[in-house]
Amino acid sequence: MSDVTLNAATANPEAAPRTAPVVSTGPVAWLRANLFSSWINTAVSLVLAYLLIRWTIGFIDWAFINAIWTVPVQGNIPQTQACRELEGAGACWAVIGEKHRFILFGTYPYEEHWRPLLVCALFIALYVVSAMRRFWSWVLIPIWIGTLTVIGVLMWGGILGLSYVPQERWGGLPITLILSTFGLAFAFPLAVLVALGRRSKLPAIKMLCVLYVELVRGVPLISLLFMASVMFPLFLPEGMNIDKLLRAQVAITLFAGAYLAEVVRAGLQTLPRGQYEAADALGLSYWYKTGFIILPQALRLVIPPLVNTFIGFFKDTSLVLIIGIFDLLTAGKTAIVEPAWQGFGIEVYVFVGAIYLVFCFAMSKYSQDLERDLNQHRSR
Amino acid sequence: MSSSTADPRLAKAGPPRRPIRLSWSDERLRGIVWQVLVVGVVAAILYWLWSNTVHNLEVRRIATGFGFLGREAGLPIGESLISYEPTDTYRRALTVGVLNTLKVAIVGVVLATILGTLVGIARLSKNWLLSKVAGLYVEIIRDLPLLLQLLFWYTILQSLPGPRQALNPVDGVFLSNRGLLLPFIEWMPAHWWALLALVAGFVGTLLFAKAMRARQYADGQPRKVWPAGITLMVGLPLLVWTTLGAPFTPDIPALRGFNFQGGITMTPEYFALLLGLVTYTAGFIAEIVRAGIQAVSLGQWEAAQALGMRRGDILKRIVLPQALRVIIPPMTSQYLNLTKNSSLAVAIGYQDIVSIANTTLNQTGQAIEGIAIIMLVYLTISLSISFFMNWYNSRIALVER
Within this chain, do residues A218 and A339 fall inside the same structural domain, yes or no? yes
| B265 beta partners | B181
Domain containing A237 equals 107-371
Q: Which of B154, B112, B159 is nearest to B273 (CA)?
A: B154
Residue A1 is predicted with a pLDDT of 44
Residues contacting residue A78 through CB under 8 Å, at least 6 positions apart: A71, A72, A94, A98, A340, A341
Contact call for A357 and B140, based on CB within 8 A: yes
CB-based contact, B340 to chain A, within 8 Å? yes
Task: List phi, psi (to 5°) of B310.
Answer: -80, 160
Within this chain, do residues A128 and A204 fall inside the same structural domain, yes or no? yes
Residue B160 is predicted with a pLDDT of 79
Residue A11: inside a domain, yes or no? no
Q: How confident is the model at residue B138 (pLDDT cuts 50, 70, 90)?
A: very high
Q: How confident is the model at residue A376 (pLDDT cuts 50, 70, 90)?
A: low
Residue A380 is predicted with a pLDDT of 47
Tally of domains within chain A: 2
Which chain A residues have a beta carbon less than 8 Å from that of B156? Answer: 346
CB-based contact, B146 to chain A, within 8 Å? yes
> Residues B301-329: what's their mean pLDDT?
85
Q: How confident is the model at residue B58 (pLDDT cuts 50, 70, 90)?
A: confident
Which chain A residues have a beta carbon less than 8 Å from that of B368? Answer: 231, 234
Which chain A residues have a beta carbon less than 8 Å from that of B383? Answer: 218
User: CA B220 → CA A7, A258, B61, B214, B223, distances in Å?
Assistant: 39, 52, 77, 10, 9
CB-based contact, B341 to chain A, within 8 Å? yes
Residue A78 is predicted with a pLDDT of 74
Higher pLDDT among residues A36 and A360, named by residue: A360
Q: How confident is the model at residue B7 (pLDDT cuts 50, 70, 90)?
A: low
Within this chain, do residues A303 and A156 fall inside the same structural domain, yes or no? yes
Within this chain, do residues A243 and A330 fall inside the same structural domain, yes or no? yes
B178 and B258 in contact (C-beta within 8 Å)? no
CB-based contact, B142 to chain A, within 8 Å? yes
CB-based contact, A362 to chain B, within 8 Å? no
Within this chain, do residues A170 and A33 fall inside the same structural domain, yes or no? no
Contact call for B159 and A88, based on CB within 8 A: yes
Higher pLDDT among residues B256 and A253, named by residue: A253
Give how far A335 is from chain B: nearest CA, Å: 14
Within this chain, do residues A184 and A287 fall inside the same structural domain, yes or no? yes
Higher pLDDT among residues B151 and B249, named by residue: B151
Q: Which of B292, B24, B368 is nearest to A234 (CA)?
A: B368
pLDDT at B5 exceeding the cut of 60: no
pLDDT at A7 exceeding the cut of 60: no
Residue A124: inside a domain, yes or no? yes
Higher pLDDT among residues A255 and A200, named by residue: A255
Task: List phi, psi (to 5°) of A156.
Answer: -75, -45
Residue A7: inside a domain, yes or no? no
Residue A262: inside a domain, yes or no? yes
Residue A72: inside a domain, yes or no? no
pLDDT at B111 exceeding the cut of 90: yes
Which chain A residues have a beta carbon less than 8 Å from that of B52? Answer: 234-237
Which chain B residues have a beta carbon less than 8 Å from that of A226? Answer: 354, 358, 371, 374
Q: How confident is the model at residue B341 (pLDDT cuts 50, 70, 90)?
A: very high
Share of chain A above pLDDT 90, in %: 17
CB-based contact, B128 to chain A, within 8 Å? yes
Least CB–CB distance from B344: residue in A222, A226, A231: A222
Residue A215: inside a domain, yes or no? yes
CB-based contact, B382 to chain A, within 8 Å? yes
pLDDT at B55 exceeding the cut of 70: yes
Give how far A127 is from chain B: nearest CA, Å: 17
pTM: 0.83
Q: Where are the domains of chain B?
A: 90-186+249-396
* Least confident piece of the model among A29-38, A53-62, B225-234, B332-341: A29-38
pLDDT at A52 exceeding the cut of 80: yes
Q: How confident is the model at residue B276 (pLDDT cuts 50, 70, 90)?
A: very high
**Which of B:297-326 have CB within 8 Å of A?**
none
Radius of gyration of chain B (CA): 28
CATH number of B90-186+249-396: 1.10.3720.10
Within this chain, do residues A131 and A200 fall inside the same structural domain, yes or no? yes
Q: SS3 string of A91-131?
A: CECHHHHHHHHHHHHCCCCHHHCHHHHHHHHHHHHHHHHHH
Give A62-72 pLDDT, tens digit per residue: 888 877 777 77
Residue A253: inside a domain, yes or no? yes
Give A67-91 pLDDT, tens digit per residue: 777 777 777 777 777 777 777 677 7
pLDDT at A370 exceeding the cut of 70: yes
Contact call for B346 and A49, based on CB within 8 A: no
Rounded distance between C-alpha atoms, residue B263 and residue B252, angstroms: 5
Residue B398 is predicted with a pLDDT of 67
Strands B179-182 and B174-176: antiparallel
Share of chain B above pLDDT 70, in %: 94
Residue A214: inside a domain, yes or no? yes
Least CB–CB distance from A205: residue in B38, B57, B155: B38
Give B343-392 pLDDT, tens digit per residue: 998 888 888 899 888 888 888 878 888 888 899 999 998 888 878 877 88
Give B168-181 pLDDT, tens digit per residue: 777 777 888 777 88
pLDDT at B68 exceeding the cut of 80: no
Within this chain, do residues A53 and A138 fall inside the same structural domain, yes or no? no
Rounded distance between C-alpha atoms, residue A264 and residue A368, angstroms: 19
User: Best-predicted range by mean pLDDT among A226-235, A364-373, B374-383?
Assistant: B374-383
How many other C-beta atoms lie within 10 A of the C-beta of residue B6?
Answer: 10
Of all residues in chain B, the one with the smallest CA distance to A365 is B139
Under the phi-then-psi rule, with left for phi > 0, alpha for psi from -120 to 50, and beta for the rest, what region is B255?
A: beta
User: CA B321 → CA B324, B328, B385, B398, distances in Å?
Assistant: 5, 11, 21, 10
Kindly give the interhelix angle for B90-123 and B320-341, rounded to the nearest 10 degrees: 140
CATH number of the structural domain spanning residue A350:
1.10.3720.10
Which residue type is seen at B233?
M
CB-based contact, B131 to chain A, within 8 Å? no
Under the phi-then-psi rule, with left for phi > 0, alpha for psi from -120 to 50, and beta for the rest, what region is A4?
A: alpha
What b/e sequence results for A349-364 when a residue is b if at least 16 CB atoms lie within 10 Å of its CB, and e otherwise? bbbbbebbbebbbbbb
